[in-house]
Structure 1
């Protein structure tokens, strides 16, 4: 296996990006035990960033940390990804349509600030955090709590780090985010909702194609 570190972020985030990509591409089999010493030797790092990375990957649902066994790769297939992104596209469309009419001037100002943060960074991890905040804020004023709970479950079911997996994802997402923000500024909740849905579908399809 050829695991390559990228140039950005802190060491444990570099390691995490490499391991995440290897898991999603099937370099590790579901049920396989990830041995810290072997990963550390393969990547030329100490065990500490490996441990930190495995904890993060557990929070993303890609591995399970078991007593006396360590990190076990969880099953994740293309059908899972397709289901998660399709459901997100449908449910977030509903939530955005409910939320946009009630966004405050402060909310819209914060959306603009997050847009500027995403456009101004080349660091995927900075982009990812701003992107998560952007999507959270778009649906913040939705009053359907069950709907928001379903969306939160989907967000926790798959990592949001597509910029570390898809070349050009950050630039394309910035363009789509700007179109969504324009619709929000126009108070056109239907247009904003459709744009969000298309944005999520496009990302999901790109991710599936990249792992095919």
Structure 2
């Protein structure tokens, strides 16, 4: 049996169910390159390494398949998927359109407390040079922007597109933190005056710009 224990670290967080914790750990290991494209993920090995039953591992692998990080093949199980530029093109374009819609629906209902929280998150990101902490604040920032969108299916689509590589983009693009902070600041200024159309458009441009840079890097290097 291949020793995968040193690739995985199950950090418990009360807010997550077990299968979501397992999903997060395996996802991060894939994105860090600890599991390579084409590598087989064996449920029994993962369960043993994480000290959980096979059920949360099975659920996690199905979730990662929906995110485009693994492929579930009959009789072979889960295979780590190679990053596909065409997939990324689709993901970032869909995000740019769907999140724009969600922000336009959400901004009119945002409170002064919400705007203060956006400011707080922005200041936190502007003062961070640790990528992991930036990613955490960035996820919270984007979720707050669409918090009041009443279209639950739309939010579910966005969540699926967000999980996986898009969350981790700051790890792969040089200068991404500084550029994102400038773009985030412009979005917050639009939210402050309740200009939902402008906030949505700025967010859409932010997502498309990030997607273009990521795909350019992959085409040049052949990987992230």
Task: Give the 5 Å matches for 1:94-105.
Answer: 94-105=101-112
Unmatched segments (≥5 aa) in structure 2: 1-8, 12-26, 43-48, 50-56, 220-224
Unmatched segments (≥5 aa) in structure 1: 1-9, 36-47, 49-54
In 2: Cα distance, 1:208 partner to 1:18 partner: 21
Task: Kindly report the root-mean-square deviation, in angstroms, between the aligned alpha carbons of the 2 structures.
Answer: 3.3
Query: Size of the alignment, in residue pairs?
Result: 180
Name the counterpart of 2:39.
Answer: 32
The yes-or-no answer on 1:20 pairing with 2:31 is: yes
The yes-or-no answer on 1:142 pairing with 2:149 is: yes
Within the candidate set 71, 75, 87, 1:80 is matched to: 87
The yes-or-no answer on 1:126 pairing with 2:137 is: no
Cα drift, residue 21 of structure 1: 5.7
Name the counterpart of 1:197.
Answer: 204
In 2: Cα distance, 1:71 partner to 1:142 partner: 34
Q: Is the 8 A contact 1:88 1:151 kept in 2?
A: yes
In 2: Cα distance, 1:133 partner to 1:17 partner: 17
In 2: Cα distance, 1:132 partner to 1:144 partner: 19
Within the candidate set 179, 184, 187, 2:191 is matched to: 184
Within the candidate set 157, 165, 175, 1:168 is matched to: 175
In 2: Cα distance, 1:164 partner to 1:17 partner: 12
Runs of 4+ in 1 over 4 A off after TM superposition: 16-19, 55-61, 63-66
Q: Is the 8 A contact 2:122 2:181 kept in 1?
A: yes
In 1: Cα distance, 2:95 partner to 2:41 partner: 30
Go from structure 1 to structure 2 and tell me whether the alpha carbon gap of 1:65 and 1:147 turns closer, same or farther (over 3 Å shift).
Answer: closer
* Length-normalised TM-score, structure 1: 0.72
